Amino acid sequence: MTTPLPLVMGVLNVTPDSFSDGGAYVDPAAALAHAERLIADGAQIIDVGGESTRPGAERITPAEEQRRVLPVVEALASRGIAVSIDTVHADTARLAVAAGASIINDVSGGTADSEMRRVAADTGADFIIMHWRGIPDPSHRRSSYHDVVAEVRDELAVLADAAVTAGVDPARIILDPGLGFDKTEAQGWQLLAGLDSLRSLGYRVLVGISRKRMLGALLAGRVGGDETMADRDAATATVSALSAQVGAWAVRVHDARSTAAALAVAEAWGVAEASPPSPGEAKDRITLTGLEVFAHHGVFDFEREAGQRFLIDAELTVSVTTASLADELGNTVNYAELADAIIRDASERPVDLIETLAERLAAIALSFAGVREARITVHKPDAPIDAVFADVSVTVVRRAGESQ
């Protein structure tokens, strides 16, 4: 695919009353076991929630929410698992980040607790801003939109601006259209079809449709009906695969296995479509993404003096047949050595332009035995631009033996 696959965010509700799995994981041991199953099934992030936002759910105090979630967050983080805390309470978010969470997922978008944006800014955690108009109203009295895609986009833009004003790094903001939260089923499908409009704001986008009522309404009377929540997992996985095509950053799901399988299919389809192999030409790939380097590149003196963060992605086209048959590291690219070579070159040799850096790193990648093609992307998320933006990047694609 030409864009990275979405991350899979596994849902872990440590609540007695969530709409899909309430009561199943209130015991910490059961919660941890389920989180480990989600990871084994393909999830990269676990989203821990201690308070249900379904219609009619009983509101709880932040203290009770913290009693439920903090031991689970700490245990997951101690195992090296990326954790998101699903909360509308600033105190819970702050304590969860201190316990190891790296993402704050606020369904109110920072509107339920006036301190939430400040907590997101102070902790430096990623901040998921969801669109809502309150606890979902099944009668849809708050679901009146003239143009649901444009209005949700514009309202999320206002919330993102408020977060930036409070000190949240724009690169840390993630937007969620809030499917099922005061949107009818038809409006939910319109929002999914309009995800490109939401992505045009320049932020990452999370899609959270897993097991929601709009899927149940779609399946009712079709393909065996909608008898259990798990019956909606195949439809959830399909939405995940379609979301990959429009560049969603992550998909939030209850069943990671089906979504991971659907994303694998989407990736294989996209790769084949983008690069149909010539006879005998290797199309295996080794990919290293998000390699962080602190360096002193830039055209301004202050960039050269103070330095800043750069993120580097390297995708190498190789043949892994020999390595896979022999199961020998010496027959493939050692990605640890590749990472060391990229970091060393990027951090020790300052240049004005990231275009120059990308060209140079491509040459380094092609110097590894067996590499036929190198695609290098250099991201400059902290570039000195007087506008709200998520990232600036340059990508070069170079083939072995070609002259530039």
Q: What pLDDT was estimated at residue 123?
A: 97
- What CATH number does the domain containing 322 carry? 3.30.1130.10
Are 292 and 265 found together in one domain? no
252 in catalytic set: yes
Q: Look at residues 208, 238, 269 and tell me which one is the last residue of a structural domain.
A: 269
- What CATH number does the domain containing 67 carry? 3.20.20.20
Are 177 and 300 found together in one domain? no
- Is position 2 within any domain? no
380 in catalytic set: no
- Is position 321 within any domain? yes
Can you give the pTM of this predicted structure? 0.67
Which one is catalytic: 94, 172, 211, 252?
252
pLDDT averages per 10-residue partition of the chain, 404 residues: 81 73 70 94 95 73 94 95 97 98 97 97 98 77 87 96 97 95 92 94 95 88 69 94 93 96 89 58 82 92 91 90 76 89 91 93 90 93 90 91 57
Which one is catalytic: 68, 153, 212, 213?
212
Here the tokens at position 190 are 């319109």
CA distance 141 to 171: 35
Q: How far is CA 26 from the centre of its chain?
A: 26
- Name the 3-class secondary structure at 106: strand
The H or E element that residue 95 is part of is helix 90-98
Q: What pLDDT was estimated at residue 329?
A: 82
Could you list the residue range(s) of the whole structural domain that residue 362 is in?
284-399
Q: Look at residues 246, 269, 292 and tell me which one is the last residue of a structural domain.
A: 269
CA distance 50 to 114: 20
